[in-house]
Each structure stands twice: as C-alpha cells, then as structure tokens.
Amino acid sequence: MSKPNHLDPLPASQNLAGFSERDGHWFIEELSLTQLAEQFGTPLYVYSKNALVTAFTAYEQACLNVDGKRRARIFFAVKANSNLAVMNCFKELGAGFDLVSGGELERALLIGADPASLVFAGVGKSAAEIRLALRVGVKCLNVESIAELEQINHIAAELSCRAPISLRVNPDVDAQTHPYISTGLKDNKFGIAYHEILKTYREAALLSHLDVVGIDCHIGSQITSTAPYLDALDKVLDLVTQLKKGGIGLRHLDLGGGLGIDYGNESPPATTEFTNALLDRIAERGFANLEILLEPGRSLVGNAGALLTRVEYIKLGASKNFCIVDAAMNDLLRPALYSAYHAIVALQKNGVEAQIYDVVGPVCESGDWLGKDRSLAIEANDYLAILSTGAYGFTMASNYNTRPRPAEVMVDGNQAYIIRERETITELLSKERLLPQKK
Ligand SMILES: *Cc1c(COP(=O)(O)O)cnc(C)c1O
C-alpha cells in the first residue's frame, strides 16, 4: 500500500497485515473485498488469518528470551473477539485464554482448550460460573472483592477443592485512554484499592479453600504508551515484595491487556518494544522467577478485521451530506459508544467526485454513525470497508431494531471460510412468545 489517496488517516500499512490496496482495489490476503461482499452479502465481518498469526507471533517472540527461555505466556482476552474459529487459531498457536463469563468459558471448553490455560476474570462472577470454573479446573480465578473471595471459598468447600485465586489490584494509574475503557483509576469499579490489597491478601490466606497463587492488574484498553504500564508494574512488584515479607509468596503476575492499536491516528509501541519494556523491568528488579501472564485482546485481533458494508443511499444536504449504509451501530458499536474513529475506504474506483460525508446506518438513533466528515468518492450500491474492526466489533453487536447480526468470514490465503452464519429474522423471532389468549 502506497500513500493513502484520501484525506482521512489510515492505519500505517505495516499495521494492516492482511489488508492491502493494489491498483485501487482492496484485498484481504489474496481475495478482493468487493468479491467477498458480493459473495457473502453485507454487512459482513472479514478477518485475515495471517494477520492473527502475525500479531500472535510478535507477542510470542517477545516473550522468549535470547536463549529461548519463556519469559511470559499469552492469554488471549476472548471478549475482544470470541468467534470459535478465531479462538481456535490462537489455541493452535499455543495461547491460553482470559475469560470474563461462563459463556466464554464454554467457548474455550468447546474448542478443547486445556483448563490449565484459562484464567477467569470479571467483577461479578455468579455462583454458577464459579462452580463451572472450579469443576473444570481453570488455572486461576481473578478476584475483585472480599465478598467474591468469600463466595469462592464457600463454593470450593462445597466441591471439596481449593480454588486457585489471584487478586486484581487497582494500581491507581492514569492510562490516558477513553474514560469508558480506563480501568486502573481509583474511581473505577475494577479491582481492589491499592491501599487495601495487603489486608485483602491476609484475609484470603486465612480462607481454607483458597490457594493464593497470583496477583493481577489491567489498567485499561487502547493504551498507546508504555509509561502507565511501567508505573503500574512497579507498584505491583512493590506489593509482591511486601507480600513475600508477610509470608505470602506468589507464583504468578498477570499484567492484563490493553495495548492499543493504530486506527489511523495513533502510534502505539510495537508489540516487541512494549513486551520487552515490561519483561526487562521485571528481570531488572529481580523477579525473573515469577511466572508472567499477558492478556492482550485488541492488539491481537483489532487490525485483523474489517466490516464490509454497502451504500444504500446518498443524501445531500445544505449543511451535511450523509452516506447511508447497510451496517449500523448494532453491528459496530464503537463509534456510537466511544466516538471511536475507524478508517473507512471505498472499495471501487468509479470516477465519481469525492465529497465529505457522515457515514451513518439505518438505525433510529442520532448516535447511529460509523464515521464523520469522511472524504469518499462513492455512489449508491458501492461497497465500503470499515477498517480495524476485528476487536470489540462483532462481540459488541446486538439485534437492536430487530437487525440480524452479520456473518463472519475468515480468509486464509485465497480461501474464504464462513465462521459464523448471518442470523435470520426467523431465528431472532423464534424465541419470543405471545401471552395466552383470554377466553
Ligand atoms: C478486556 C480485558 C483485557 C483485554 O484488553 P485489550 O484492551 O483488548 O487488550 C485483558 N484483561 C482483562 C481483565 C480485561 O478485562
């Protein structure tokens, strides 16, 4: 891909592994995006297998020392993209999984993930979810409150087992990201306050059905510099030292996920640079014996996916032009929820003059937009690709406005595979029941 030929920022080509523009046509690996849109219909999520592999391999290589010793292990954060085929690709590459619900746990079990490669996080685990996690024998439950510790202890006693637990510390650092995806400040609902964590560990150590194995933190998402991570890491390592002095020796340290990606305007550190900064600091401070877990989500899948959509109507106005497409906020929520920017490219060159448009969906909400003030040379029935939608795209999709969720396709070289069929309206309605008729 050469220089972008339009005004709106595109992710740098090296960050768009899997996608390329050649002679004005867009490809995912060896296949034309236009042809995929025609073949499978729109809206359509497409993912590049090669991009998933490339992103994972970058992490893996950084996790290995020069002498080939493993310094950290990758647990893919499933909530970023929970499609079974995506999870299975990562499983085959050796990933573990970071789970936040019983449903995600069922997914991991369905693809045959080793329970010892699963960590179960989340602020509100239900008793049923805890029971399932303990029955299958997950590696660790990441705990966020004393009430939850007591609940897990109680259920472990019922099951006559010891629950492996880690406490999620809220290190109170500013990840400088969107407030909705910042999780490590003291006012967030996440984690246990830094000043309460030692006390909470002492209480956990007293509960007879808990096995205190680790400590974890996750300071936010779409973080584009290493500095907040190093701040959090230093604070967490201080805790590990204090705990050890108090007789609580931990086996692992889980640093969460959150590394940002290039949506067009960002230049986050490269995976290796980021991972090395953390792992080198851990070694420098003499903690090389701790097992290290990383839980990347977005940075493994974000740039590997695109949402393809078709232009329904062009609506020109005195103050705004609208490009109304067949994808909407129910298919891709990030713009409506976070005012997130996704690059949008036209998939054909048709000689039409470029104009500035708001790209909007058909849903009855003013918040239903996918891009604002975009320069696009398009007409009705053209296809667009909304880039970098592999993370928090399909997984946040809903059926709002009774819209079936899109199909998902994975491309591997010159082959396209349906990895989730498009939903039908019949399927959506089949769960609903009328009240009985009054006689
Ligand atoms: C969401 C989440 C992640 C992944 O975050 P990304 O920003 O997608 O990398 C990792 N760990 C926990 C606990 C999470 O909640």
119: domain CATH number is 3.20.20.10
Do 288 and 325 lie in one domain? The reply is: no
Please indicate, yes or no, if residue 5 is contained in any of the structural domains. Answer: no
Q: 295 CA to middle of ligand 1, Å?
A: 6
Q: Which atom of ligand 1 is nearest to the CA of 181?
A: 7
Distance between CA atoms of residues 339 and 128, nearest Å: 35
Do 209 and 268 lie in one domain? The reply is: yes
Q: Which atom of ligand 1 is nearest to the CA of 121?
A: 13
121: Cβ below 6 Å to ligand 1? yes
Any idea which residues carry the catalytic annotation?
364
Q: Mind listing the pLDDT tens digit for each residue in 15-31?
A: 998 999 998 899 999 99
Question: Residue 373: its pLDDT value, please?
Answer: 96
Do 233 and 370 lie in one domain? The reply is: no
Are the beta carbons of 357 and 323 closer than 8 angstroms?
yes
Q: Which atom of ligand 1 is nearest to the CA of 168?
A: 13
Do 263 and 342 lie in one domain? The reply is: no
257: Cβ below 6 Å to ligand 1? yes
Confidence band of 182 (pLDDT split at 50, 70, 90): low
Q: Mind listing the pLDDT tens digit for each residue in 335-381?
A: 999 999 999 999 988 889 999 999 999 999 989 999 999 999 999 99
Mark which of 269, 298, 327 sits at the end of a domain. Answer: 298
Select from 52, 144, 262, 295 the residue to mutate for testing ligand 1; criterion: most ligand atoms less than 8 Å from CB.
295
Q: Does 412 or 183 have the greater pLDDT score?
A: 412
Do 205 and 276 lie in one domain? The reply is: yes
Question: Residue 66: its pLDDT value, please?
Answer: 72
Question: Residue 316: its pLDDT value, please?
Answer: 95
pLDDT above 70 as % of the chain: 96
Do 327 and 370 lie in one domain? The reply is: yes
Query: What does the pLDDT average to over 258-287?
Result: 95
Do 196 and 281 lie in one domain? The reply is: yes
Question: Residue 261: its pLDDT value, please?
Answer: 97
Beta bridge partners of 82: none
Q: Is the pLDDT of residue 2 over 70?
A: no
228: Cβ below 6 Å to ligand 1? no
79: Cβ below 6 Å to ligand 1? yes
Q: Cα–Cα distances in Å, from 74 out to 183, 366, 436? A: 20, 39, 52
77: Cβ below 6 Å to ligand 1? yes
Return the residue whose CA atom lies nearest to atom 11 of ligand 1.
256
Please indicate, yes or no, if residue 436 is contained in any of the structural domains. Answer: no
Q: Is the pLDDT of residue 42 over 80?
A: yes
Q: Is the pLDDT of residue 67 over 90?
A: no
Please indicate, yes or no, if residue 217 is contained in any of the structural domains. Answer: yes
For residue 384, give the H/E element and its range. strand 383-387
Query: What does the pLDDT average to over 320-327?
Result: 97
The domain in which residue 131 lies consists of 50-298
Q: 409 CA to middle of ligand 1, Å?
A: 24
Mark which of 298, 315, 336 sits at the end of a domain. Answer: 298
390: Cβ below 6 Å to ligand 1? no
Select from 98, 192, 215, 266 the residue to mutate for testing ligand 1; criterion: most ligand atoms less than 8 Å from CB.
98
Do 132 and 154 lie in one domain? The reply is: yes
Mark which of 263, 298, 333 sits at the end of a domain. Answer: 298
407: domain CATH number is 2.40.37.10
Please indicate, yes or no, if residue 238 is contained in any of the structural domains. Answer: yes
Return the residue whose CA atom lies nearest to atom 10 of ligand 1.
257
Do 55 and 38 lie in one domain? The reply is: no
Confidence band of 180 (pLDDT split at 50, 70, 90): low
Please indicate, yes or no, if residue 434 is contained in any of the structural domains. Answer: no
98: Cβ below 6 Å to ligand 1? yes
Do 38 and 59 lie in one domain? The reply is: no
Amino acid (1-letter code) at residue 273: E
Confidence band of 178 (pLDDT split at 50, 70, 90): low
The two three-digit tokens of residue 324, written as one number: 């109304």
Do 289 and 356 lie in one domain? The reply is: no
Question: Residue 177: its pLDDT value, please?
Answer: 67
Q: Is the pLDDT of residue 5 over 50?
A: no
Whole-prediction pTM: 0.95
Q: What is the bridge-based pairing of β-strands 344-346 and 383-387?
A: antiparallel
Average pLDDT of every residue of the chain: 94
Distance between CA atoms of residues 109 and 325, nearest Å: 37
Distance between CA atoms of residues 192 and 287, nearest Å: 23
Q: What is the bridge-based pairing of β-strands 252-254 and 25-28?
A: unpaired
Do 262 and 322 lie in one domain? The reply is: no
Q: Mind listing the pLDDT tens digit for each residue in 209-218?
A: 999 999 999 9
Confidence band of 3 (pLDDT split at 50, 70, 90): very low
- Residue 106 CA, distance from chain mean position: 18
Poorest-confidence range of 9-18, 233-242, 330-339, 375-384?
Answer: 9-18
295: Cβ below 6 Å to ligand 1? yes
Please indicate, yes or no, if residue 177 is contained in any of the structural domains. Answer: yes
Please indicate, yes or no, if residue 199 is contained in any of the structural domains. Answer: yes
Please indicate, yes or no, if residue 1 is contained in any of the structural domains. Answer: no
Structural domain count, the chain: 2
Q: 310 CA to middle of ligand 1, Å?
A: 31
